[in-house]
Amino acid sequence: MTGGFKLRQLDPNKFYSFSFFASRMNVTDNRETSYTVNGNTTQIVSLNASNNTTQKVEVYNMQPDSNGEIEITATAGANNTNSYGFYYLNALEIQIDNTPISQFITQQNLLLTYPIQQSTWEVGKTVPLSWISEGIDQVTLEYSIDGGNTFNNIATVPSTDRSYDFTVPNSISSNVIIRLSDGSQVIDSVPVTIIPNDNTVYRIIVLGSSTAAGSGPSNQYNAWVWKYRRYLEQLDTRYEVINLAQGGFVTYNILPTGTTIPAGVNKTINVDKNITKAVNLNAHGIIINLPSNDAAGNYPVTDQLHNYSLISQTASQNQIPLWVATPQPRNFPANGSQVAIQTQMVTETYNTFGTFAVDFWTGIGNTAGNQILPAYNSGDGVHATNEAHQIFYERLLLKDIHGTVKTQVDAALSIPDEQQIELALYPNPVKHLLFLESTSPISTVKIYNQLGQLVLENHHTVNMINLQDLQSGYYVAHIYINDKIYYRKVLKN
């Protein structure tokens, strides 16, 4: 078995040289590939693709045949031991010259790939300076804190490393420049800002199922959560994206801890990956991506909306903004109940969450909405490809979730000292009596459970509350002082 192609309408007075590269990683057999180049002469070269990362083979100075053509074919080489005779061609470089050559002239290319935007780095954090290069042995990295007037050396490393972990120096500046050079080329980054590390975090937590967990793309690197995390961490080192998604999850799996599951539903709440866990991890924003498993289980829209209501209440009671992705197309049987559930749930997601709904539906399936378009089908009719995950990622960016989270956290941190109230609750965890101390009078205390339900209210003796009748678990105390509400988490043993 062979494969090949022809190059046509070639100049008979030119010399055509070819460099072949092939690789198949993580194999143990020999996968030698033989390349035959036919023109006015014939040359044959071979390359073992098994676990190859650097080796190439070249054919020099071919001229076209009388029809102006050069034909290139590939087949299993004489030393190939693969039982199927697999052979490979990953890349082919063609060089055209007026006279014969004895070696390829590799163009030196160097490109800085991070930082390429105005980023914010905290002192002491590690950031991955990255680049791509061709025909270069080593690169030198430097940084400037005065806009490029003077530079400090970082390191000189092999260009093939493609990345260097840089520890941000204790040099506060809004005009930091990273310089990448190879002796002949010099590339300076856009200005970067270095700020003190005051432990500020903008924490976004993802809940969901297999799509959010990274299924579908050829590599998790291409999954939307990984793309999103990479973008935010490179934008500002204060961002943190925690992914609690797990394959197979439905809305029942992420309900608040302690919620009663209805009879006939064979799902359990995962207390390590649910809305309660997100709250306890001090999320500043939550994204939910549950594409189709509820419909696959024939859970009605009304049930899903009820579950989302409980989840939303928990987020709301803890003042955490919540974004919910719509369902995604899935290859359910046409005109079946599951398709009806999916399409109705798309509408209800918009109706329920409004501007906090994220569109993972439009353009991914056919007009009936019950089949993934071939370009976005990873092959199982359920999960989405690299290209679809890129669309999901871009639509999330358009929602400016990270901007909302940053604004909320910054606002909370910027309250003037004279407006702050010294407030203490103890003991916490508490068994029976919870004591409250404040520099200003407390008018009311309300205790809410993890479902967002009011379970206790006190308007009288507000420096002490008896919680002995409450079940063990987490609660949120709403403490009213001077017409403001202060929120504190309480653990009841």
Which residue has better confidence, 248 or 493? 248
Q: What is the pLDDT of residue 275?
A: 97
Element (H, E) at 394: helix 386-398
Report the sign of the C-alpha dihedral through residues 288, 294, 295, 301, in that order.
negative
Cis bond upstream, residue 115 (ω within 30)? yes
Q: Does residue 420 sit in helix, strand or coil?
A: coil
**Least confident residue range of 36-50, 106-120, 198-212, 267-281:** 106-120
| CATH number belonging to domain 202-411 | 3.40.50.1110
Q: Do 202-411 and 109-195 fall under one CATH topology?
A: no
Report the CATH fold assignment for 109-195: Immunoglobulin-like (2.60.40)
Domain ranges across the chain: 2-97, 109-195, 202-411, 417-492
Mean pLDDT of 393-415: 87
Radius of gyration of the chain (CA): 30
Residue linked to tokens 């023109």: 39
DSSP 374: G
Q: What is the pLDDT of residue 369?
A: 56
Report the sign of the C-alpha dihedral through residues 364, 366, 369, 370, in that order.
negative
**Least confident residue range of 33-42, 239-248, 360-369, 399-408:** 360-369
Q: What is the torsion angle, in degrees rounded to the nearest 10, for the CA atoms of residue 425, residue 430, residue 432 and residue 438?
A: 0
Q: What is the pLDDT of residue 420?
A: 61
**Least confident residue range of 68-77, 278-287, 330-339, 357-366:** 330-339
Distances (CA, A) of 96 to 4, 19, 60, 70, 232: 20, 12, 10, 13, 43
Identify the band that residue 229 occupies on the pLDDT scale cut at 50, 70 and 90: very high
Q: Does residue 417 sit in helix, strand or coil?
A: helix
The CATH architecture to which 417-492 belongs is Sandwich (2.60)
Task: Check pLDDT > 60 for residue 416.
Answer: no
Q: 107-110: long-range contacts at Cβ-Cβ below 8 A with a sequence spacing of 24 or more?
A: 107/134, 107/135, 108/134, 108/135, 108/136, 108/182, 108/184, 108/185, 109/133, 109/134, 109/135, 109/136, 110/134, 110/136, 110/139, 110/159, 110/180, 110/181, 110/182, 110/185, 110/187
DSSP 161: G
> Mean pLDDT in the chain?
91
The CATH architecture to which 2-97 belongs is Sandwich (2.60)
Distances (CA, A) of 82 to 26, 45, 351, 483: 13, 19, 56, 76
DSSP 197: -
Q: How far apart are CA 49 and CA 21, in angstroms?
A: 8
Which residue has better confidence, 478 or 39? 39
Question: What 3 state SS string does 219-283 have?
Answer: CHHHCHHHHHHHHHHHHECCEEEEECCCCCCCHHHHCCCCCCCCCCCCCCCCCCCCHHHHHHCCC
| pLDDT tens for each residue of 78-122 | 999 999 899 999 999 999 999 998 887 666 689 999 999 999 999
Q: Does residue 401 sit in helix, strand or coil?
A: helix
- CA 395-399-401 angle, 5° bins: 120
Task: Check pLDDT > 50 for residue 173.
Answer: yes
Closest CA to 215 of 243, 191, 186: 243
Burial class (CB in 10 A: 0-12, 13-18, 19+), 152: exposed
